[in-house]
Amino acid sequence: MKRFATMLLVTGLGATSLPAAAMEMGQAARFGAAVGRYSSELKVEGFDSGGNLVAGGDITNVKLTYGGELGYTITLSDFYADVGLNMLRVRLQNVDNWRTDALFTVGYYLNDNWSVFAGFRRGWQGDGIFKQDKFREIGPYLGFGFGGMSLGNWGVFNSSFAYNFDRVQNIAGTGIDFSYPGVSAKFGLNLKGTPHSLQLRLQHFWGDKSQGFDDGTRLDLDLKETWAVLSYVFTLGW
C-alpha cells in the first residue's frame, strides 16, 4: 500500500514537508533557495544605581530577506529522522547579518495524514555563516503535522506547526542569556511525480531580560524576530 506521508521538520526557524511512500526504509536529500520578508526589533535600556534611565534605544528593521537550506532525511517504517541546515540574511541594530540554524528532528507517523515530532536547534547569528558575534541560540522544539492531502493529479499539500523552547546566549557580547521561545508554521505544496516543491515558512520569536550588576546598575533587553519566507526545494529520494 502506498501513501503520501508528511516529513514534518521544524527549523525554527521552521519545517520541511516531503512526500514519501510507506516502506521499511527510505532516504532523501534536499536543497533549496528562499526569499521573503524579515523584521526585527531590539530594545535596550540602561539604568543607573538609582533606577534612572541613562541610555536607551529601540531599533526596528523590516527588510527583504533571502537564503538557502540543505537537509537529509531517513525513514524507517513509521519513524523518521532529519538533519537540516538553514541560512537566512537578517538585520539586527541596522547591521546586516546571517542567521544559521542547524537542526536535528525525529518524528513518528500516526497515520497517513498526522504525525508528531521533536527536535533540537543550534543557531548562530553574526556577520557570516556559523558566526555568533551577535548571539547564539539553542533549544528543543515540539510539534505536529498534517499532510498527504491530494490536490487532484498535480499536487500534495502538507503542513506542520511547532513551539520552540529556545534560549539566546551572550547577546551582543554582553554575556546576558534569556529565554527566547517561538512559534513556527510551514505549508508545503509538492508537485506529484517530480522532485519540486514550494514551501511557505512563518516564524515568530520573542524574549526579554532585565540584568542587574554588582554596582547597582541595570540593563533591560527586549528582542523580537518575525519572518515569512517562500522557498523552492528540490528533493532526491531513494
In the predicted model, what is the mean pLDDT of residues 51-76? 91
Domains and CATH numbers, the chain: 27-237 (2.40.128)
Q: How many degrees, rounded to 5, is the angle at CA 123 between CA 140 and CA 148?
A: 60
How far apart are alpha carbons 196 and 30 in whole angstroms?
10
Q: pLDDT tens across 134-165, in order? A: 899 999 999 999 998 999 899 999 999 999 99
Model confidence at 24: pLDDT above 60: yes
Cell of 197: 516543491
In the predicted model, what is the mean pLDDT of residues 116-139? 94
Q: At 171, is the secondary structure helix, strand, or coil?
A: helix
Q: Which of 15-24, 111-120, 125-134, 173-182 has the highest mean pLDDT?
A: 111-120
